[in-house]
Structures are given as C-alpha cells and as structure tokens.
Structure 1
Amino acid sequence: MNILLTSVGRRAYIIDYLRDVYKKLGLVGNIIATNSDMNTTAMSVADKAFESPIIYDEKYIPFLLEICKSEKIDMLISLFDIDLMILAKNKSRFEEMGVKVIVSNEDIINICNDKFEMLKYLKKINMPVPKTYIDLEEALKGADFDKNSYILKPRWGMGSLSIFEAENKKELEVLYEKAKRSIQKSYLRFESGADIDRAILIQEKIKGDEYGLDIFNDFKGENLTVTVKRKLAMRSGETDIAKVIENRELEDIGKKIAESLKHIGNLDMDILFDGRKAYIIDMNARFGGGYPFTHSAGVNELEALIRLCKNEKVNDLSVKKYGLFAKEIAMLELK
C-alpha cells in the first residue's frame, strides 16, 4: 500500500505511526509526502518527498494527480485545512484513478473551515455558542466590556494565527485593524480576501477548561470512536500537554456532532467548558495537533483508515491507557 500525505509540514509523527501500522499488518509500500516547503521534518523522514506548488496554484491538483499515478497511490490524507476544500472539489478525479481520498464533502469542509458557518451550524443543532459579532460597528455597540473581554480571530483561521484579546473598545478598534493586516500578510489572505470586511470574528471570551476531542467516523459517516483530552499546555496553537480522560458528557457531544455532520475520518474539535455549558470553539475535519495524545492512548485511527481502505474489519478503537501525555521537542537533520 502506498499512502500520500499532502501539506505534511511538521507532522513527522504521522509517518512514524504509519510505519508502525505497516510493520504490524505486514504491509509493503511507500509513505510519500508533499509540501510547498521542502525544509520540514515530515518531508525529511518520508520515503519519498516532492515539493508541491502552493495550494491555490492551478498546477496543484494536476501535480497531485501525477504523483498518484507515478507512485501508484492507494490512499491520500491531507493534514492542512486549506488543502481540504480543493481536494473535496476534485475528489472524484482521484477516485477515478483508484485513490481513496480521506476528505469529507464540500459542505462539511465549509462548515469547519468557515468559523462563522460553524457557529450557524452549531446553533441549528442547539449547541451553545459564545456571543459573536462579525461586524466591528455592531461589536462596538453591543460588547459589554464591564463583564467580558473579547477574542478576535480569523473567520477562516487555524492554529493561533492572528488571534488577539481586547479588554476595552479602544483595544477592539486597534486590534481589529491589526488582525486584518496580519491576515493579509499570511496565507489566510486567500480565503479571507473574498470578504475581508467580514473576515474577523469578535467573540465573547469563555472562561473555563479546554478540551480536545478526536471524533472518528468510517467512510459512510458512521461514528466509531470519540477520544477526550483535557488540555493542560499549549504552544503555537497546538496542544503540548494533555490528559486523556473518560468523560461521558463530552463523548456524547462528540457523538452528536458525528451523527449530525457525517464527516469521514477524523474530526479534531476544541471545547471550552465553563462548569455549566460546553462551548465548541473550533472544528477541523482532519488529523490535528492533538492526535498524538489519542494515538498514545492506544486509539490507532491510522490503522483503522488502512483497514477501511482494504475493506477489512476495523481494529479496536477503545482507549487502552488513560493518563497524562506530553510532546517532546526533538532535533532532526533534514535531508
């Protein structure tokens, strides 16, 4: 089996996990990576690595199709939000070649990538959401800074890029312009450029404990497992230390989203719990930076994907080890 990982960035651990699965199942094949920057850890450890055009380049999809043909790819997994929509739009072209693309349909990707659409979706299924503005003038009129501070974040955002906290109206005005400039200087400008005056969400800050959920569905959108982690430390928008826990209330929320959304593969979801309500603050229809904690707890979703692709019985996806886990920074010499 040959697997293509697109926009791999720093997720070298995904390649290590896949190699373990290959060894366990006796599989032969290559794990191939693409990225627009060759100087990343994942590109260095892959069996083969190819520098790709940027995602919005008209040559991007033809480039991936050629890789799939020349390298006899069986399954394609993307690890980057911006990649997901263009893959969803072109999914049939890959599947005509016999490549299984692990990406949900366009409607689901839009709900996850467009955080304003995500909030509308959550309201529709009666999930609590923070008070949110998408218009600066409305926020200046309606925001109650005597009771709350407000988070500014990109409508089409990821990680911790261009996120600010305003504690009064003057800060809100200044930070709104700063966020807009920051977006226009980053890769977030591609999505945000379509509606730059409605590209920033102004959201009441929820005070509470933060949790991450990995919600795994099969190729029919049926839920197979939900893994809950309490986040204890963050770095650059990713979880650094987390505790894998058993929490029926949050698991039920994950299952509700899975049954409603009908995504395929993994959904990475962030929740803030204020002691009364659980607020979903982010959803990403891919493997996220919190997946290593799920994997370390014995929930091997990558093995499940391979088994599903081969029409085999799925492995046990229950948590084998609850407890505290931490990421470690390691040095690698790049090829």
Structure 2
Amino acid sequence: MKPLREVTVLITAAGNVFMPGTTACLTKNGERKIRLIGADMNDDKTMLEMVDAYYPVPRGDDPAYIDVLLDICKKEKVEVVLPIMSVELNALAGNRDRFEAIGTKVGVSDIEALNIANDKLKLFDYLSSVEIPCAAYQAVHSMEELKKAVQALGYPEKRVCLKVTNGSGSRGFRILDASQSKFDAFMHQKPTSCFATLDEVIDILSEALYFPEMLVMEYLPGNEYTVDLLADHGKVLYNCCRKSMNMENSIMLDGIVEDNKAVKELCATVTESLGLDGNIGFDIRDREDGTPVIMECNPRITAGIPTFAAAGVNLPYLNVKRMIGEKLPICEQKYGTIVKRRWMEMYTEE
C-alpha cells in the first residue's frame, strides 16, 4: 500500500519525561511519515532523538507564548498542533483563528468547555449541577475554611484529598492521613510521597504570600482508572480504559486495558455534555460500593496514552487524521494489554 502524504505536527512540552511514548504514537503510525516539531521551555538537545526539530519557547501562560508558537508554525509549515500542558490550553483556544489563518489546526476544545474542564472546582460544580457522579468536595480559600472542610469530610478518622484547583499532574496534590507515621514515611516511602498530615500542609501553606484556591475531596478507596478518548465536538469516536495495578505519587506505573463499560460511559457522558473536542483524559476512582466517580478531567493528551496505542487504538495519531480530514478506521482494542513503565536514558554532549 502506498504511504499517505507526509504531515508536519508540532507537539508542546516536548521535554517532558513521557515524551518518548507520545512521539512513538505519532512517528510509528504504520501509514505515513510524520515530521515532528518539538517546543519546550528548556533548550535540550536530547529532544532531537525524538523530534525532527525543536524550539525553546516561553511558558504556556506567558503573553509572548502564542506569538512565538505562531512564528514556529509559519516557519515549519505546521499543519497540526497537539498541546500537552493544561496551562497553555485556554491561550491556544482563544487564538485558534490566528493559527487557522496560517493553515495550522490546533487540537484543543472550545474555550467555553475548557473554562469548565480545565478548572477542577468549576468542573465539580458543573458535574454536581447536572447530577454526574464526582467525588464529594468543598472549595476552600483560607486556612480556617481548610480546617473546617477536612473535618466535614471525616478527617482525622478518614483520609481526605487536597488539590489546587488549577494544578496539573500531581502538583498541589496531597492525601491527608493523620495515621501516617513520619518514621515509616522516612524509612519506606520516597521523598515525593503524596501523603501528609493536616499540620504538615498547614506549615507548607503558611509560607505562601496568598492562599491558593483549593478543593478538599473525599478519599475514594476503590479501583483507580484512567480513560483516554478521542472526541469530535462532543461525539466520542474512540473510548479506552485502563485500570491501575501499581500507583506511585498519583502516576500509574503498571496498568491493564479493560472494557469497563460503566467507567467509559461516565467519561463519554461528561465529554458529550461539555462538547469536548480532541484528545481527552479522565481520572476515575471507585467508591467503596464500586460506583465509579470523576476525579479529574484533562482536556489534552495525557502521559498514559501510549498504552492504548499498544492495545490497538493510537489516539494521538487518530486525532491528527481527524484534524486533516481523513476517514477514521475501525480499531479493535486488545483488552488485557498490560503496561509496565520503566526509565529510558538519553545522552548529549556538554
């Protein structure tokens, strides 16, 4: 079969630790050559092992970020931009017309949907208003509100979760557990452990110049899942679910691809309700009775997405095909596919 035409794709945050798997989804697609351009805050030559060219750029929330990205897209004749970081999504959505004017499509939802999905408090408020299951929560804006909220959700007898509303990944996230032994944590947990006591978190927040808006959420003891799907303005095209087998610092190290219909339907309902578009990720956890509830929505490519490519559904590449107007194939998922994450080194000269 004759290869399809070459496409130039720009991927942001190209220096992230999960980039090798993400780039493999695009470059090892089995159909065509993808000319891959990387953009990142860091000027790191090891990225040239993964991309054809890379450019240092400002932070995603820097006022100059969009102009710099537009210049790169013009120079490299980029057809598709695939964003990785939550902080850049609103700026990209708000400037979609400028990119399309130079022939570049941006893989991001409309700004109205992002304003909800990309803000954890707004997302939970929205889910509650339309009666879609999410973790029990309270918003807090001061130390006194924090103390009252954790008590209302059962602390210190129960574990409680704390999350900054505009945090990304595990930034600004802690599991409050009053039973945690500091000696046990010192001896048996890595320094990056997410567990803390309320007093420890209060000490941390006391150093801040202002109190960040945070969510206090119930701790859910059941199975944890990540769902990645591809949507076309709310219509779900592909829907993939993975159950955690081993978590470390809120990152799934080992997992298995499952056909959990309840979990997948829950994520599809949110996607359709908000009209989300492109690559979308969800974090789901079961309550004690096995009911799945939404923990988080990431309206972008997520770190775990290569797992589903290995299972037969290459979501980043399928999104590229969708965005350039190609017919999408029927994909058979290989349920039971297991992922085990391990490190990979890259080298360059000084």
Equivalent-residue separation in structure 1 for 2:324 and 2:177 (angstroms): 53
The TM-score with structure 1 as length reference comes to 0.87
Q: Which residue of 1 aligns with 2:215?
A: 201
Aligned counterpart in structure 1 of residue 122 of structure 2, from 113, 117, 123: 117
- Is 1:18 aligned to residue 26 of structure 2? yes
Q: State the partner residue of 1:272.
A: 285
Aligned partner of 2:247 in structure 1 is 234
TM-score (norm: length of structure 2): 0.84
CA 1:167–1:300 in 2, change beyond 3 Å: closer, same or farther?
closer
Structural mapping, 1:157-172, within 5 Å: 157-167=167-177, 171-172=197-198
Amino acid at match of 1:18: L
Which residue identity does 1:20 align to in structure 2?
K
Rounded to whole Å, the distance in 1 between the matches of 2:304 and 2:83 is 16
Verify the 8 A CA contact 1:153 1:179 in the aligned structure 2. Answer: no
Say if 1:239 and 1:289, in contact at 8 Å, map to a contact too: no
Matched, 1:245 2:258: yes
Q: Does 1:46 align with 2:51?
A: yes
For residues 103 and 119 of structure 1, do their structure 2 counterparts lie closer, same or farther at Cα, with a shift above 3 Å needed? same
Alignment of 1:91-110 (within 5 A): 91-110=96-115
1:302–1:130 CA distance, 2 compared to 1 (3 A): closer
Alignment-mate amino acid for residue 303 of structure 1: Y
Question: Which of these residues, 7, 13, 19, is aligned with residue 7 of structure 1?
Answer: 13
Unmatched segments (≥5 aa) in structure 2:
1-6, 179-195
SS in 1 for 2:28: helix
Pairing 1:307–2:337 present: no
Residue from 13, 32, 37 that aligns with 1:32: 37
3-state SS, counterpart of residue 30 of structure 1: strand
Q: Provide, for residues 260-289 of structure 1, a one-character-per-residue CA deviation record: whole Å limited to 9, x for no partner.
A: 122111111011112342121111001111
Separation in structure 1 between the aligned mates of residue 55 and residue 9 of structure 2, nearest angstrom: 13
The percentage of counterpart residues that share the same residue type is 24
How far apart are the structure 2 equivalents of 1:31 and 1:2? 6
Contact 1:211 1:270 in 2 (8 A): yes
For 1:137, which of 132, 140, 144 is the aligned residue?
144
Name the CA shift for 1:42/1:97 in 2 (closer, same or farther; >3 Å).
Answer: same
2:262 and 2:292 in contact (8 A); partners too: no
**Is 2:201 the counterpart of 1:225?**
no
Shift of 1:151: 1.4
1:40-66 CA distance string (max 9 Å, x none)? 854542100111122233221111111
Q: Measure how far apart 1:171 and its partner are.
A: 4.1
Q: Write the distance in 2 (CA, Å) between the matches of 1:166 and 1:315.
A: 45
C-alpha distance in 1, partners of 2:202/2:123? 21
| 2:346 is the counterpart of 1:332 | yes
Answer with 35-44 or 90-99: which moved more: 35-44
> Equivalent residue for 1:188?
none
Offset, 1:326: 1.2
Deviation (angstroms), 1:139: 4.5
Partner of 1:318: 332
Q: Secondary structure at the match of 2:244?
A: strand
How far off its partner does 1:34 sit? 0.4
How far apart are 1:77 and its partner, in Å? 0.5
Structure 1: which amino acid aligns with 2:31? L
- What is the identity, as a one-letter code, of the residue corresponding to 1:225? Y
Q: Which runs of 5+ in 1 are unaligned?
A: 185-192
- Secondary structure at 2:238 match in 1: strand
> How well do the aligned residues superpose, as a CA RMSD in angstroms?
2.4
Conserved in 2, the CA contact under 8 Å of 1:12 and 1:42? no
Between Structure 1 and Structure 2, how many residues are aligned? Answer: 319
Q: How big is each residue's C-alpha offset from its partner over 1:124-183, in whole Å with a ceiling of 9 and x where there is no partner?
A: 221223332222434433343264221121111122223223345x942541451575xx
